[in-house]
Chain A
Amino acid sequence: MTTSLPARFGVPQELEARCARLKAEREGKRLTILVCCGTGCLANGSAKVADAFARELHARGIDADVGLAFKRTGCHGFCQRGPLVVMMPDETFYQRVKPKDVPKIVEQTVVGGKVIATLLYKDPNSKQRITRYHEIPFYQKQTRVAMRNIGLVDPRDLRDSLARGAYLAVAKALGAMTPEQVIAEVDQSGLRGRGGAGFSTGRKWRSARAAPGERKFVICNGDEGDPGAFKDRSILEGDPHSVIEGMIIGAYAVGAHEGFVYVREEYPLAVENLGHALCDARAAGLLGRNILGTGFDFDVQISRGGGAFVCGESSALMKSIAGMVGEPRAKYIHATDRGLFDLPSVLNNVESWSDVPVIIEKGAAWFAAMGTAKSKGTKAFSLVGKVKNTGLVETPMGITLRELIFDIGGGILNDRPFKAVQTGGPSGGCVPAHLLDLPIDYEKLTEAGSMMGSGGMIVMDDRTCMVDVARYFTRFLWDESCGKCTPCREGLSQLQIVHDRICRGLGREEDLPLMERLGAVMETAALCALGKSANFPVKSTLQYFRDEYVAHVRDKRCPAGICKDLTIYRIIDEQCNGCGACLRVCPSKAITGKPKQLHALDQGLCISCGACFDVCTPMNAIAFDPRPHAAAVPPAAPGAAPARRNS
């Protein structure tokens, strides 16, 4: 028997009773089928899989079985393996599920209780098939706090979230704590911002509470403009109630009655699920006037983002919400005094908001028990790039880069050597191999010349040219900054021009100190944090991979074989067995040869893309050399840089 959506909860006790009942109801289920319908899995066709389940269960008449539940959930994080289907309570984990697999799953697993081996995940390292979710290396070292409910609840069903204890922290905070106590709890938990600089959330709230004024705002930053990052999207899509709940608690603490969630324009599903959740929460008396009968009023509205990376910066974001152009302003006066509409405002990241209810419910000490001395709790990371397992991960702070990349990530793709990991988003730095045992926390990453940022982790192997990487991020920031202040705008233009000429073999040795001097001024002189950190990719690669710059500049050689103007490829005759793998991947038909016979590479047609090199792993019969007399290509104007060559 399912309980319908509750009418308004009049008092906290009503909510508590309902949560307990819904929990028991769900725990009584014999089997719950969870089909991931996050953006990643949807892109892989999970909507059809979910439909197939609905059809199949209905056709067999088992959709009426009260012991069975079927849900469309948010993202499990392992999108690479999607569409994902998880069966609870056994945690049977099926991956790459296609609609045609569904009748078999229903027949054998749902009805027959048997596991289908071919749908299980096969660990690329041990080559073992793994049945249960938590036994998969990708999930083994994870601890989910901000993402505690994602993948387990249907984000369109408030009852699901209530069964997982949603809004109990609101009941506790509003019912039994003073705003000061709430702030003290959050402060003591050591929670620091999960979206940017890692500022203490408790301190931010305290300033906003102390700021004079009747009208204040709490805002959720869901802009997430970093390329490759998707933690905030996953939380908003998969568990919007946790964010709303955090915001209610924050609003109560600082004395705000209005909230905004700023969501990136490109996140339609997040907007949809969040909008749905807001309506449900309002109907249940969890938002709006007199929340849970405590007399506290608060409501939230959605604001759609302007699209540029810079709009995630706090002052730009607030301008954007107010309908102005999303350009940063000087923050000599803090947003907690003068933020949105010049009124006291608290801005926190999606993940920060999602952490708050757990802190209130389980207490500051519980949260602070995880992590390092100054970075407490857990952190979500988007693990992408040249690792075997890519996806969204949440672990306690203090996990080492090595554990993250090699244990959770399964190591480097094709077992190539690890070269660097770029952390913290586009203006983060590249951390080299000798720092792999670095425990991840705010200070350690900053000391290493990078940053925590939003938790982006882009893993790079030996086939990555670090000069090219620095050029890529410089270009990204040149495109995505606001262009308002001189050091950032002109500095990025020049950094880009210099990288361009270095990659073309036209660099000069003086270019390196020139960029260092320029970068140092950008750091101190730019208006906002984007410009102040825009040189980090360049600075860190110059620090850790200077020899690569020198090779480009002095020897006109790209050690990774990526910069086309500096690299030619050839076949090592003695090693070629004529397998034809290279011939098939060459986009410009530069390779010819009969099967099992020596192949030939036509230098005239070769565009130095290196595709042949990357596929010839069994024989290693392709080599690259510096291009003789690097062509004197004139440097391009800023903005005219060619598209990036390696990803």
Chain B
Amino acid sequence: MRKATILALTMLAMPAAAQERGLLLAGACQGCHGVSGGGSHGIPAIAATHRRAEFAAILRDFRENRREATVMGRIARGYSDEDIAALAAHYAARD
């Protein structure tokens, strides 16, 4: 509960540009994971499923080839550390 409040507050404090970056990058996730990140057809849910640090670590693992993937490795290799942080803020902030 307290964590969620802190997260929400950091979201508010986040500059609008960083928030928009997360939203625009999330456009790619939505293509398969669903508009609100709920997943379907064996595609996992990504919205509000992990804390920010965990979410970022998973994406980095995909990028670094440490996690088995069909398409996610190929996608994550297109992300910078900042992109991963923005996505983590976008999705993890929803819980």
Interaction A to B: no
* Chain A residues proximal to chain B, CB less than 8 Å: none
